[in-house]
Structure 1
Amino acid sequence: MIRAAWDRLRLFNIGELFAHRGRTIMSMVVMGVSAGLLVSVFSISGSITGSVDKLTHSLGGNAVLEVSGITDAGFDQTLLQQIRTVPGVAAAVPMIRQPIGADADRALLVGADQSISQLGTSLDGALKDQAGKLLTVPNGVLLGKAMGHKPGDKFQLGTLTATVAGVLDDSAAGDINGGHIAIALLPVAQKITGRVGRLDSVQIVAAPNTDVGKLRSALTDAVAGRAIVADPALRTAQASSSVMLVSYATLASAAAALVVSSFLIYNAMSMAVAQRRPMLSLLRAIGGKRGPMVRDLIAEAALLGLFGGAIGSVIGIFAGRQAINQLPAAILNSVESRTQYEVPGYAVPVAVAACVLASIAAAAIAARQVYKVAPIEALAPVGTSTADAVKPVLRWTAAVLGLAMVVGAVVVARADVGKLSMAGISLAIVGSVILCFAATEPIVRACAAIARLFGAPGALGATTVERAPRRVWATAMTVMIGVTAVVSIGNATRNMVSAAGDSFEGLAGTDIFVSPTSMAQFPTGPLLPSDLKATLQKIPGVADVGSAQMAFSTLGSGRVMLQAYEGGAARTSALDGVSQPDLARLAAGQAVVISRDIARTLDLHPGSSLDLPTPTGIHKVQVLKVIPYFAAISGTVVLDLDVMRQWYQRPGETILGIDIAPGADHAAVMSAVRAAVPADIHVTTGKDAVTAISSSVRQGTSISNAILWIVVLVATVALLNTLMLSVLERRRELGVFRAMGTSRRFLLRTVLTEAAGIGIVGALLGLAAGSATHYLATVALGHAIALDIPYHPTPLLVVYAVVALILALLGSIPPAVRASRLPIIEAIAVD
């Protein structure tokens, strides 16, 4: 039985794949594109979360819990003794963990003592072998090879001049942060970071037979809100939220490409059925059953999806490496680990499985043309078969289902459920396709009517359209989906970028910003030199210097960004409209301002009480105001700078805002500021800061936009496939026309008018569906990033639709040329 099935598949299906290499390659290419896009998207998020997870396991070893600082300021080292006395704690390993350097030089400084040997990590052996060097070399550090230093080198590290005591080999440090790591004894690391007497983390090794849940509760009571007690995986979970918005947007675009590819596979299998109709009819006439024929066609499509998905996945692995470099620096630098590109284990199997399932589903629909027809009917053209007719029950069912999905899309998009609101975009597009299935007949008639507008060639093209309604509908849908995706998601992301840029326009009111990193990265640290503000205030032409701080903090199970301001040049739109009495409450530490996404997650509203965990304990504050604020990476809590310094034990500032005195020479003041600031600290104007932030947001959407245009290119291939099928089906007919004296130009125009009818109708449907989905996408993105995004329909809607249509119509050229060049004798003799 199995041997017979394999022989049948090899002779009648696999053989046909090799006989029609062009169609086979084309089908595999589009499935490969879809698989490549999916692998790239999975690799983007997997690289960030995987890098954090790998670092967590490399440093945590067999620790079951971690006590970590609420912010990067850590917590008081006196907590260590209290932690060690908690029943069930076999070992408590203190650590300093702080990113150092920036951009290409970004690394991680780790400080630990001899108790690290109880974690069983790869650092254990390295520290044992080279501990003597760390003890004998003043301010000595061990570096990974990727740091590019040799033993004995001296370089500035934080507040000290460090000496390279040794270089770790790849076996010891190659997997830890990609070899970009510096290891020091705990006291040295505390001096380097300027945090003597403070810790960032304590890794907890449980005693045998200890209940981890009870141990967590006991540790939570011991730290009394001054630190966070959680599974080591908390760092990975918080890192995943940083890239979640980009992942959702790119995944939606990649899914659109997969849907379009499914329609193309449907057309490819329809083409296969059309070409093999004489063979299939013969097999039916001699007693062949329909079931095995259908199963063989489905198996053939599965092979296309399997090989196309496998090849595309390999390409996607390399494409993902390039895509990770397109992510905004704010996302990459929001986690402590250095992002190393890696493909998650599930990426390739899921991508290939998605391609295979999509191919099977599309082929199953196309195979109905074999399964539903009688043997004698199999000799007729596909379009005249009863298999192409849509039953009324199916049509009404599709109408009800499509309408329900569109209504559901509106509800989901408008519901304030955060990033999940973006599911409404995909739901709306799928619902539109199902509604169009219910309207197959009017859509096909519209395609034929447009074709007839082009005279005699159009009349012949219209007849061809009417003979294959299901295939024409499928092709129109590929064009529609491409146009809808570009118009809706493309314009919605444009609105988002514009709204995000507008929300930071208030920064332009400050003349100069000084920060440790670019303003586009949300400068959260390290702290600026303590004497820098006083130095800048003495520069001639400087009217005022205001301080501000940004820092990531843990609130609940998520991560938020603390923003603290004082009066003066450092301004924020977050406090616009806040009255003086309320500002006084803010300054007294009685209230805070929170962003909309935090309010949604924690079920808060103005007037609610909020327990704010800090290194000095839990402080109960009132929510003064809930604000829309760009929260693509994390939510925001705004408080007074002095309060933050006191509660979070984080003196100093990460941002200095400078106002230039009226009449002063801006260029001269800027030059003086640059001269007074250390070389590794960023100096930028307020206007440039706004531009940098807007560019960073735009960069984050560039991957999604690129995928959308790939969807349009896939739609182009789909139109090419459909018209090639039309030419193949009518080969004898076209040969007769040529024998009767019809010119090549007439036949070429016939195919082009057929393409015009399908493409224009698909583009118009896409423009209509895309315009409506554009509004839903704008609302959904607003909920996803906790920001009010104005809906701005622009003429670009039509421009995008026209460009997408032109690209799609390019697919009509090869089949039109082939139709005009058919050899008359061979065409007539084909049957």
Structure 2
Amino acid sequence: MIAAAWDRLRLFNIGELFRHPGRTVLSTAVMAVSAALLVAVLSISGSVTGSVDRLTLGLAGDAALEVTGITDAGFEQSMLPAIAATPGVATAVPMLRATLGTGADRAMLIGADQTIAALGSDLAGPMAEYTSKLISTPKGVLVGAAMGYQEGDSIPIGWGTATVAAVLPAGTVDRLNSGHVVAAPLPLAQLLTDKVDKLDSVQIIAKPGTDIGKLRTALTEAVDGRAVVAEPSLRTAQAGGAIQIMRYSTLMSSAAALIVSAFLIYNAMSMAVAQRRPTLSLLRAIGGKRAPMVRDLLVEAALLGLIGGIIGSAIGVFMGRFSIDRLPAAIVQSVEARTEFLVPDYAIPAAIAACVLATVAAAGIAARQVYKVAPVEALAPVEAGDSAADSRLLRWAALVGGLGLGALAIVLAALDLGRISLASISLSLTATVMLCFAATGPIVRAAAGIARWFGAPGALGATTLERAPRRVWATAMTVMIGVAAVVALGGASSNMVDSATQSFENLDDTDLYVSPSPAEQFPTGPVLPADLAAKVAAVPGVERVQPAQMAFATIGSGRVMLQGYQPRADESRLGAVTPDVIAKMARGEGVVITRDVARSMKLTAGDEITMPTPSGERTVPVLQVIPYFTAVSGVVMMSLDQMREWYQRPGETILSVQFAPGADPQAVQAAVRAAVPEAIHVDRGADMLAAISSSVEQGSAMSTMILWIVVLVATVALLNTLMLSVLERRRELGVLRAMGTNRKFLLRSVLAEAAGIGIVGAVIGLVIGAAVQYLATVAIGHAMTIDIVYQASPILVVYGVVALVLALLGSIPPAVRAARMPIIAALAVD
């Protein structure tokens, strides 16, 4: 029985794929595109979290828990004895961890003592092996071979230098930041990073049989709110939060491509059914059952999805590798580990499974045409039979379901549910498809009416459209989704970039910024030299220098960015904070938080927030909840003095410099540049604003690229549909040619069909796109915790027209084929 099934599949299905290579290649190609996009998106997010996970596992070894600093300032080393004495702790391994350099030079400094041998981590062996060299070399450190240093070289660390005592061979520390690692004795690392008597981490090895939950509770009591106790995997979870927004936006665009591809597969299977009617009719006449025929079609579709998924997955790996080096600097900076390209284990199977499911689902709908055709009707065109008319019950169900999903999408977008609100975008597009299915009749009549605008050729094209309502609907939906996705998501992304840029426009009010970080990164550290503010203030032409400090901190299981200012009544850097709140914050009466922090902690203005700090837990009032562009993390603003005291982090990480009236900007900037160390960045306010805007645009660039790929897929869908129309009517077209109809008439007829379908799909897409853009703007505003201004720019109409033109290009090959079809060959089909 299996052999018979295989022979039937080989003869009537796989053989058909080889007999129609054009359709097979196109169908496989669009599924490959969808798979490539999915693998690329999953690889980008997986690379960020996977890099942190590799580093965490490589350092943690056998550790069950980790005590970490609340900020990169760490915590007092004096807490170590209490941690080590906690019941259930076998060994407490102290560490200092710091990021060195940026970009391609980004590395990690790890300071540890002899207790690291108990961890069994990737660093334990090398540090034990090279102990003698570390001891005998003044300020000696170990470096990974990937960093390119030689033994005896000098290496800059913090504001000082160290000497390379030994180079760790390639392969020994590959899991640690891809080998970009510097290992030093703990006291030396503390000295070089100006963290004497400070720790960043204590790895906890539990005694055998210890209840880890109880141990964590005991350690939490021991640190008394001055550090965070959690599983080492907390770092991976926090890294995932930094990439979530980008992952969601690109996944939605990739999902749109997959939906359009599914519609194309539906058309391809409809084409297969139409071309195989004689074979199917013969099989039915000799007693063949319908169920095996349908199953064979589904297997055929699954093969297309499988092959396309495999090819696309390979392409997606290269796309992801290309994209990982172009991640926004702010995202890369917010993650501790050096981001290396990793393809998650689930990425390729998930992409292939999505392609197979999409093709089988789409083919199942098309295969119903065969399953419902009675034997006596099998020789008639399937679309012309009663089976082409969907039941009234199904249309009513689609109407009710579409209205329900549309209402749910509106509710999700209106409620401030954070990133969950983004689901309203996909729901609204799904609701549109269902409502359009309920309105198949009006859509087909509208397409036919537009086709009739083109005179007699259009009338012939309109008749063809009316004979194949389901195929017309499916193709109009592919055009609609392509246009709607570009208009909605492209417009919403543009609104987001404009609003985010506008929210940072106050940066341009400051003449210069002095920071250890490049303009495109958050100035979270290291802390500037203690005398730098005074040196800059003494530069001729400088009227005022305002210090500020920023740092990532852990609150609960999430990360926030702390921002400490010396608030002034005219402080422009605080954006939406009201003047009365600025005055209260200056007096240390409370903090300002962003919407996502308020949402996650269920706080409103006037409530009290409890924050763990290295100096113990601090409970203060929430003075105001503000909108703030927080693509990476939420923000807590406070006075600079409070931040210095609470988080034991003296100094500042950025200086705002205001020029004196009448001063020469270029001369003053040059003087400031000469007064600060070479490693410190000096940027104009306009440059800072441009860098932030560029990072925001870069984050949405991949999503925009995917949307235009969706439009190209819609072009292929229209080509497939019109080619099916031509193939179904070969005899009819042959008769028309034999009666004297010229080729130009047939060419215009097929183009009229394309215009009818394309214009209807594009108009629906523009209307739906504008509506979904509004929902997307509101939803993205909730996700980004910023007030995004909805602007239905006229450029969106241009987007729609371009998408329509690209889709109509798909009508040219079938139109040319219809015009050039030989009369004798066409008449000989049947």
User: If the length of structure 1 is used for normalisation, what is the TM-score?
Assistant: 0.99
SS of the counterpart of 2:172? helix
Q: What is the total number of aligned residue pairs between the two structures? A: 829
For 1:782, the equivalent position in structure 2 comes to 781
Spell out the pairing of 1:306-317 with structure 2 (5 A cutoff): 306-317=306-317
Conserved in 2, the CA contact under 8 Å of 1:330 and 1:520?
yes
CA distance in 2: counterparts of 1:796 and 1:583, whole angstroms = 40
| Residue 680 of structure 1, CA deviation | 2.1
SS of the counterpart of 2:194? coil
CA distance in 1: counterparts of 2:749 and 2:80, whole angstroms = 82
Spell out the pairing of 1:454-469 with structure 2 (5 A cutoff): 454-469=454-469
CA distance in 2: counterparts of 1:106 and 1:4, whole angstroms = 61
Alignment pair present for 1:733 and 2:762: no
For 1:270, the equivalent position in structure 2 comes to 270
For 1:21, the equivalent position in structure 2 comes to 21
For 2:485, the equivalent position in structure 1 comes to 485
CA distance in 2: counterparts of 1:521 and 1:65, whole angstroms = 31
| CA deviation profile, 1:52-94 (whole Å, cap 9, x unmatched) | 0110000001101000000000000001010000000001000
For 1:177, the equivalent position in structure 2 comes to 177
| Residue 574 of structure 1, CA deviation | 4.0
CA distance in 1: counterparts of 2:563 and 2:88, whole angstroms = 38
| Residue 573 of structure 1, CA deviation | 2.8
What do you get for the CA RMSD once the two structures are aligned?
A: 1.0
CA distance in 2: counterparts of 1:294 and 1:770, whole angstroms = 36
| Residue 435 of structure 1, CA deviation | 0.3
For 2:100, the equivalent position in structure 1 comes to 100
For 1:594, the equivalent position in structure 2 comes to 593
Alignment pair present for 1:157 and 2:157: yes
Runs of 4+ in 1 over 6 A off after TM superposition: none
SS of the counterpart of 1:203? strand
Spell out the pairing of 1:435-446 with structure 2 (5 A cutoff): 435-446=435-446
SS of the counterpart of 2:579? coil
For 1:130, the equivalent position in structure 2 comes to 130
| Residue 586 of structure 1, CA deviation | 2.2
Q: Which amino acid aligns with 2:314?
A: V
CA distance in 1: counterparts of 2:132 and 2:574, whole angstroms = 53
For 1:109, the equivalent position in structure 2 comes to 109
| CA deviation profile, 1:558-608 (whole Å, cap 9, x unmatched) | 1000011114697423463231xx445423433000001110110101110
For 2:577, the equivalent position in structure 1 comes to 576
For 1:378, the equivalent position in structure 2 comes to 378
For 1:622, the equivalent position in structure 2 comes to 621
For 1:724, the equivalent position in structure 2 comes to 723
SS of the counterpart of 2:683? strand
Unaligned regions of 5+ residues in structure 1, if any? none
Alignment pair present for 1:425 and 2:425: yes
Conserved in 1, the CA contact under 8 Å of 2:577 and 2:624?
no
| Residue 220 of structure 1, CA deviation | 0.2
CA distance in 2: counterparts of 1:277 and 1:86, whole angstroms = 78
For 2:642, the equivalent position in structure 1 comes to 643
For 1:747, the equivalent position in structure 2 comes to 746
Q: Which amino acid aligns with 1:587?
A: A
SS of the counterpart of 2:637? strand
| Residue 326 of structure 1, CA deviation | 2.7
Does the C-alpha gap of structure 1 residues 738 and 315 become closer, same or farther in structure 2, counting only changes over 3 Å? same
| CA deviation profile, 1:531-557 (whole Å, cap 9, x unmatched) | 211111111101011101110000111
CA distance in 2: counterparts of 1:85 and 1:571, whole angstroms = 49
Q: Which amino acid aligns with 2:804?
A: L
For 1:76, the equivalent position in structure 2 comes to 76
CA distance in 1: counterparts of 2:537 and 2:649, whole angstroms = 22
SS of the counterpart of 2:378? helix
For 2:206, the equivalent position in structure 1 comes to 206
CA distance in 2: counterparts of 1:591 and 1:117, whole angstroms = 45
| Residue 22 of structure 1, CA deviation | 0.6
| CA deviation profile, 1:503-524 (whole Å, cap 9, x unmatched) | 1111111000011112321111
For 1:87, the equivalent position in structure 2 comes to 87
Unaligned regions of 5+ residues in structure 2, if any? none
For 1:328, the equivalent position in structure 2 comes to 328
SS of the counterpart of 2:152? coil
CA distance in 2: counterparts of 1:266 and 1:323, whole angstroms = 32
Conserved in 2, the CA contact under 8 Å of 1:504 and 1:573?
no
CA distance in 2: counterparts of 1:325 and 1:282, whole angstroms = 57
| CA deviation profile, 1:675-727 (whole Å, cap 9, x unmatched) | 22222221111111111111100100000000000000000000000000001
Spell out the pairing of 1:166-315 with structure 2 (5 A cutoff): 166-315=166-315
| CA deviation profile, 1:294-333 (whole Å, cap 9, x unmatched) | 0000000000001101110110011011122232110011
Conserved in 2, the CA contact under 8 Å of 1:586 and 1:639?
yes
For 1:769, the equivalent position in structure 2 comes to 768
CA distance in 2: counterparts of 1:110 and 1:364, whole angstroms = 57
| CA deviation profile, 1:762-819 (whole Å, cap 9, x unmatched) | 0001011111101000000000000011111111121111111001001001111111
Conserved in 2, the CA contact under 8 Å of 1:49 and 1:237?
yes
Q: Which amino acid aligns with 2:427?
A: L
Q: Which amino acid aligns with 1:484?
A: A
| CA deviation profile, 1:351-386 (whole Å, cap 9, x unmatched) | 100100010100000001110111231222232022
CA distance in 1: counterparts of 2:7 and 2:325, whole angstroms = 48
Conserved in 1, the CA contact under 8 Å of 2:34 and 2:258?
yes
SS of the counterpart of 1:184? strand
| CA deviation profile, 1:166-222 (whole Å, cap 9, x unmatched) | 111123212210111100000010011110000000000000000000000000000
Q: Which moved more, 1:188-197 or 1:680-689?
A: 680-689
Q: Which moved more, 1:465-474 or 1:154-163?
A: 154-163
For 1:471, the equivalent position in structure 2 comes to 471
Conserved in 2, the CA contact under 8 Å of 1:383 and 1:466?
no
CA distance in 2: counterparts of 1:175 and 1:570, whole angstroms = 45
For 1:404, the equivalent position in structure 2 comes to 404
Conserved in 1, the CA contact under 8 Å of 2:370 and 2:382?
no
Q: Which moved more, 1:167-176 or 1:362-371?
A: 167-176
Does the C-alpha gap of structure 1 residues 742 and 274 become closer, same or farther in structure 2, counting only changes over 3 Å? same
SS of the counterpart of 1:521? coil
Q: Which amino acid aligns with 2:596?
A: D
Q: Which amino acid aligns with 2:745?
A: F
For 1:502, the equivalent position in structure 2 comes to 502
For 2:686, the equivalent position in structure 1 comes to 687
For 2:806, the equivalent position in structure 1 comes to 807
Conserved in 2, the CA contact under 8 Å of 1:482 and 1:708?
yes
CA distance in 2: counterparts of 1:654 and 1:696, whole angstroms = 21
User: If the length of structure 2 is used for normalisation, what is the TM-score?
Assistant: 0.99
CA distance in 1: counterparts of 2:297 and 2:400, whole angstroms = 31
CA distance in 1: counterparts of 2:660 and 2:520, whole angstroms = 26
CA distance in 1: counterparts of 2:345 and 2:732, whole angstroms = 52
Alignment pair present for 1:389 and 2:389: yes
Conserved in 1, the CA contact under 8 Å of 2:506 and 2:575?
no
Alignment pair present for 1:12 and 2:12: yes
CA distance in 1: counterparts of 2:378 and 2:531, whole angstroms = 88
CA distance in 2: counterparts of 1:239 and 1:319, whole angstroms = 22
CA distance in 2: counterparts of 1:282 and 1:515, whole angstroms = 79
Sequence identity percentage: 63
CA distance in 2: counterparts of 1:753 and 1:340, whole angstroms = 51
CA distance in 2: counterparts of 1:596 and 1:191, whole angstroms = 39
